[in-house]
Amino acid sequence: MTASKKAESERYIDVPGDHRAASPGRRVRQVWNYRWLVIAFAVLGAGAATVSVAQAHTTYVGKSTLVVASPNRPTDQDAVIVQGYVQLFNDEAVNARLAAKSEIPPGVEVQAATAASSPIVTVDATAGDPRVAQDAAERMAGAFRNDINAMQQARLGAAIKDAERRLEKVLATGAPDDPAEAAALQNRIMEMSADRTNELQVLQPRAGVTEISTQTGLQIALGGIGGLALGILSALALATVSTRLKNLDDIREKTTVEPLIEIPAGANVHAIQMRQERVRTLANLISLEDLPKNAAVVVANCSGTQAPSPLAGELAGFWARQGYRTVLIGADRGGWCDTDSHGFLEALDDSTLVHALLRDSDIETLKILPGGRTDGSDWRRITRERVAAVLDEIRTVADVIVMMAPPVAASGDTQLICAAADLTVLTVVKNVTRAGDVSSAADSLSKAHADVFGAVLVDGSDAVPMPRPILSAS
């Protein structure tokens, strides 16, 4: 694409810049192309959340609290011990043993946690009944407290017995050598008997029950949002792997051809006006090229569809209404070919017949050269030299020549027609043409030394009336 053409294209259609950068606008367009998929995922997500909420029941969380309050030790050290206790309580094996020991009903979940950085242990029991939840929390807290304290008492009991044996041995002599040793042992035994370090104490056996109600609206909204996010990711993934071309960005990124402009469908008055404006823009882009006088422009579909592109007739009609002497050639099997009328095929044999074969149209300055008589085999007459001779003859009476060529993928004749012309515009049918068809078409035309101007994305959902030749009185 020349610098002038690129500037004009960006001016009229706001073509994004470097296609290697995935701009947010491109991502939005990709999602929009698959909007029904995104909506479907969002609806499914909201529906799944609705079903889940409908099956859910109100639950209750009962609380019971324990505390470690070791004498003569800072609270922050007790808090460290509490963290170890919580990990032990939440261990799967320990939790199951305590639940069996406390006769906790099936389906009740009990977990422990610390209260911030304090030495307080909170035991939470979740159940479908508030009384069951509170009883389970109290029983589990009590069972855990008893287990921990029993281990502490066992450790201290062993140390006390050892000290008592030593004291009895000292007193058995009757007159101990060191009276202070006996006194020290007695004091040690008394201290250990009163030691409550690292023991768990009950703070609030029944700290209350909290009702956890189902937040229907929030759950459905979160389900919808989750489905929406999944739908967007799916849309982006499909846009990446799909070979069908849906917008100009797809042409730019997935093919070797430069996109020119998108021609929308003429579904209503506004759309028709927009389509006409886009055709005018395309004509402007072509006019910016360094073309010879009386240039011949070929419009050809990339895909194998046999339907001729209406874009050729629209371009020819635009230039004709601008006052240019324009000739539209039906160099396609769909270009007004029949068994009775002569036209392009006959002119290939004798180019001097062109002037007699040109027909008027409903536009004063637009002439039409029909395809001519054909049974399908007549197209074998096409050669580059014969096409060039026909074009040279038409140039004597025309300012602009527009040729409606067969689809590139369906006919090898298109290469010869495009090679004889000055410029080729490839049409891409939106949501139909595949990226491989466009690249293949451009490659085959390039090998034939045809000048491929670029690709136009055409919405083929609404047919546009083609200019028709006016039948002669004879």
Residue pair 434/452 in contact (Cβ under 8 Å)? The answer is no
For residue 224, give its domain range.
Answer: 34-53+214-242
Do 147 and 84 reside in the same domain of the chain? yes
Do 233 and 283 reside in the same domain of the chain? no
Among the residue ranges 51-65, 333-347, 430-444, the one predicted with the least confidence is 333-347
Residue 188 lies in a domain: yes
Among the residue ranges 26-35, 84-93, 104-113, 355-364, the one predicted with the least confidence is 26-35
**For range 36-53, the mean pLDDT:** 84
Beta bridge partners of 368: 328, 359
CATH of the domain at 104: 3.30.1890
Do 137 and 256 reside in the same domain of the chain? no
CATH of the domain at 15: 3.40.50.300
| Number of neighbouring beta carbons within 10 Å of residue 74 | 10
What CA–CA distance (Å, rounded) separates 418 from 413?
Answer: 9
Q: Rounded mean pLDDT of the chain?
A: 80
Do 15 and 47 reside in the same domain of the chain? no
Output the six-digit token pair for 321.
Answer: 């209404």
pLDDT at 360 over 70: yes
Residue 371 lies in a domain: yes
Q: Which residue has the higher pLDDT, 339 or 267?
A: 267
Residue pair 136/111 in contact (Cβ under 8 Å)? The answer is no
- Give the three-state DSSP class for 452: strand
Residue 27 lies in a domain: no
Query: In this prediction, what percent of the chain has a pLDDT beyond 70?
Result: 81
Do 274 and 420 reside in the same domain of the chain? yes
Residue 67 lies in a domain: yes
Do 77 and 204 reside in the same domain of the chain? yes
Q: Phi/psi at 325 (nearest 5 deg)?
A: -70, 110
pLDDT at 305 over 50: yes
pLDDT at 218 over 90: no
DSSP 8-class letter at 58: -
Residue 273 lies in a domain: yes
Q: Given pLDDT bands bounded at 50, 70 and 90, which one contains residue 406? A: confident
pLDDT score for 308: 58
pLDDT at 288 over 70: yes
**For range 200-214, the mean pLDDT:** 86
First to last CA, the chain: 47
Residue 472 lies in a domain: no
Q: Given pLDDT bands bounded at 50, 70 and 90, which one contains residue 195? A: low
pLDDT at 19 over 50: no
Q: Is 112 buried (19+), middle (13-18) or exposed (0-12) by CB count in 10 A?
A: buried
Do 284 and 199 reside in the same domain of the chain? no
Do 123 and 80 reside in the same domain of the chain? yes
pLDDT at 22 over 60: no
**For range 251-271, the mean pLDDT:** 85
Q: Phi/psi at 280 (nearest 5 deg)?
A: -60, -40
DSSP β-ladder status, 120-127 and 59-68: antiparallel
pLDDT at 334 over 50: yes
Do 323 and 357 reside in the same domain of the chain? yes
Residue 468 lies in a domain: no
**For range 379-391, the mean pLDDT:** 82
- Give the three-state DSSP class for 434: strand
pLDDT score for 4: 45
**For range 252-257, the mean pLDDT:** 87
Run of H or E residues at 87: helix 75-90
81-111 pLDDT per residue, tens: 889 989 999 999 999 999 999 999 988 999 9
DSSP 8-class letter at 244: B
**For range 267-287, the mean pLDDT:** 87
Do 253 and 340 reside in the same domain of the chain? yes
Between helices 413-420 and 384-395, what is the axis angle to 10°? 40
Do 175 and 272 reside in the same domain of the chain? no
Q: How many structural domains compose the chain?
A: 3
136-182 pLDDT per residue, tens: 999 999 999 888 888 877 777 777 777 777 777 766 765 555 667 66
Among the residue ranges 139-143, 379-383, 386-390, 391-395, the one predicted with the least confidence is 379-383
pLDDT at 474 over 90: no
**Residue 420's closest CA among 384, 395, 392?**
384
What CA–CA distance (Å, rounded) separates 8 from 459?
Answer: 22
Among the residue ranges 151-165, 194-208, 236-250, 342-356, the one predicted with the least confidence is 151-165
Residue 328 lies in a domain: yes
Q: Which residue has the higher pLDDT, 95 or 30?
A: 95
Do 289 and 417 reside in the same domain of the chain? yes
| Number of neighbouring beta carbons within 10 Å of residue 159 | 14
438-449 pLDDT per residue, tens: 888 889 999 989
